[in-house]
Structure 1
Amino acid sequence: MPQRPCLMLTRPETESARFAEQAQAAGWRGSVMSAPLLEIVLLPLDVAALTGARTLVFTSQHAVSALSLATDARDWVVWAVGPRTAQAARAAGFAIVHQSGGDANALLDDLTHSPPLAPVVHLRGRHAASDIAAALRAQGQDASAVVCYEQVAQPLSAQAMARLRQGGHVVLPVFSPRSGRLLADAIAAIAPLPTRLHLVAISTAAANAATISPLASCHVAARPDARSMCDALATMQQTLEPLGKPR
């Protein structure tokens, strides 16, 4: 009997577990495997770097965690990239939290049309798809960045490599350009594979970075959020299992 498609999640462990729950709640019927290609390591945050700041920009809940470990102060206005990060900021005790549309482009658009109270500090990871602070400075705003966590690359697990060599269908969600590049490199190292690989990307940039060849299919989410990723998964599963049965 053909095996069902496998959803292989390469985000950090906590994010993979959360998305697995979201995907299954949205109707994913195949198997799920967690195979993180990134590990999040919080860095010591020098609170002195925030002296004088009036607005903090968070593009990840990990930055909220790093700040929460460093200080109990919560007297900044916050701009958060999307709902998950905004929720983390509110849970951490911030009173004024502005939520953007889910990616750096939407955030920069909001910050351009509604200039924040300056100085602005962007708390970010070592690797970032967009330099928010530099973009704000180019507009004449007083902005700087503080790196407060690392996204450390991890090798593809032996379990994941074994599944990729089994054949059938494996669906690969990609949530950032960097994770797309890491995934493409990991798969290239064990190619050729008998498995039909399907990419679901949160953005065109993430899809373009995941230069996996050959791909059986590629879907880009309508919006850069988990719900749209689940919608794209549902569309893909309907193609792979039109009658609820594996091809």
Structure 2
Amino acid sequence: MMKKHIGGAKSEKKKFEKQTAKFCQNQERYLNLTTKKPNSLQERHFYAASMDYVYLIQEVHERKKFEFVETLLTFVYAWFTFYHQGYELNKDCEPYMKDLQQKIQKTRSNFDDFSQKLKKRMSEVQKQDEPVRKNTKGCREGYLFLLEKKAFGTTWTKHYCTYDKNTKKFTMLPYNQLTTKTLPPPDTMVLASCVRRMSDSIEKRFCFDIQSDDKPGVILTFQALSEQDRKAWMDIMDGKEP
């Protein structure tokens, strides 16, 4: 409608304005003639252009009454079709949605129970003097600090260590949560002995020495995280008192 009918009316308007200007010029010349000269006023083209222009304007206004409503109605039908399809899809998925909702409610309920149990357990652990991870199935793992001798003194390096009582295999890996350096391969050895370090022989607390069959005569000194942690390591390593 916009391009065909309104565009046609605009073209006809230009034609009408052109004929109007020509008619007005002829009218002025006609009125300036004397009574002695023959005269005639050509009005036929102006009237024809006027009628065509009025017709097209009327046609545009009449078309607006139904073409706009038709477009709007088509749009409404499209939306109704969309919602109808959505309604049918909702009916098909309704059993699944209800089942999923029940599962979600059950999961939420389980989460609430788990959260309460976890808070209770945390409260119990916090009341303990010093919680220590127990040895499980003849194995232990955790963090220890290794005494290393450097050119200008000694340093304590944090290691992640594991020990298997059945094979007596002890593994240590330098690791610190505060750094992002590439980890070297772990150092593995077969444990030969474990002895508690006497407090008056070293400045650090919770220390013990180990020796391995792989490096006879080499003593490695480790510092545990607490007295109970040292006791747990020595228990699984069959450690001895000095």
TM range (shorter): under 0.3
TM-score by length of 1: 0.20
Greater RCO (CA < 8 Å, at least 6 residues apart): 1
From the CA coordinates, give the structure whose radius of gyration is larger: 2
User: Where is the helix percentage greater, Structure 1 or Structure 2?
Assistant: 2
